[in-house]
Amino acid sequence: MSTIGNRVLITGGAAGIGAAIAASCRSRGYEVVILDQKNADCCVDLSNVEETAQALQQILQQGPITRLVNNVGMVAPAAIEAQSLAQFDQVMALNIRCALQCSQALIPGMKQQQFGRIVNMSSRAALGKTFRAAYAASKAALIGLTRVSALELAEFGITVNAIGPGPIETALFKQANPIDAPHTQQILNSVPVKRFGQPEDVAHACDFFLDEQSGFITGQVLYVCGGMTIGVNGI
C-alpha cells in the first residue's frame, strides 16, 4: 500500500457498521482513528460542536488525516406530526452538521497532500421511509453535501462519495426487529436478494471508495441494500 494518507478517521466507529469499517481498514494497513461516545481513540459527544472541535484538534496534532468516514448517526423515529423540533435538531446536528465539521477540519491537510477520500454514510431512507422524517431529511442532506463537496474538492485530488445502506443486521437492528416479529419478516420479504445485509457488506463498499485507485469516482451514491432501491418493494 502507498504511504500516502494511511490515517483514516471514522466517526461512530466503535460498533455496528462503523466497527466493521474500522476492522476492514486495519486489515488493509490503515491507521484507524475512531471518534465515538465510548470505546474510541477519542471519546466525544459528536452532536456537540465544541466537544467535536476539541477532539478534531487533538487528533490532528498527531498529523494529517487524508481519509474520512462520516459514519456516526441517530434515527429518532416518529410520525411527521409527532416529530419534536428538539429531536429534529439533535438528529441534524449528529447526522449532517458533524459530517460537515469533520470534513472542514480535515480538508486543509488533504489539500496539502493533494489527496483525500471522504465517505459519507447516507441511507436508503433518504429516498423515503415512514416514521423517519428527521433521519431521512438528514441523510438526504448528506447526499447534497457529498455532491457539492465533490465538485469543490475534485481538483485537489479529493474524492467525496456516499453509501446508502438498506436493512443491515447490526445489534441495534436486531434489537428493534426481533427475528420472529411479523414486521421483520415483512422487511426481509421486501429485499430482492432475500437476506439482510451485514456490516461487512457496507465495509466492503467503503473500502472501494477509500482506495487510492478510486480517484476517478466522486460525487456518487452507492446503495448497499440488496436491491431495495430498484423497484417499489421497499418499506
CA–CA dist 211, 204 (Å, integer) = 11
CA–CA dist 164, 154 (Å, integer) = 21
Strands 116-121 and 158-165: parallel
Please state the length of the chain: 235
Residue 135 designated active-site: yes
Q: Which residue has the cell 456518487?
A: 220
Which of 115, 135, 196, 209 does the annotation list as catalytic?
Answer: 135
Nearest of 41, 50, 40 to residue 97 by alpha carbon = 50
- CB neighbours of 174 closer than 8 A, spacing ≥ 6? none
CA–CA dist 35, 116 (Å, integer) = 19
The catalytic residue positions are 135
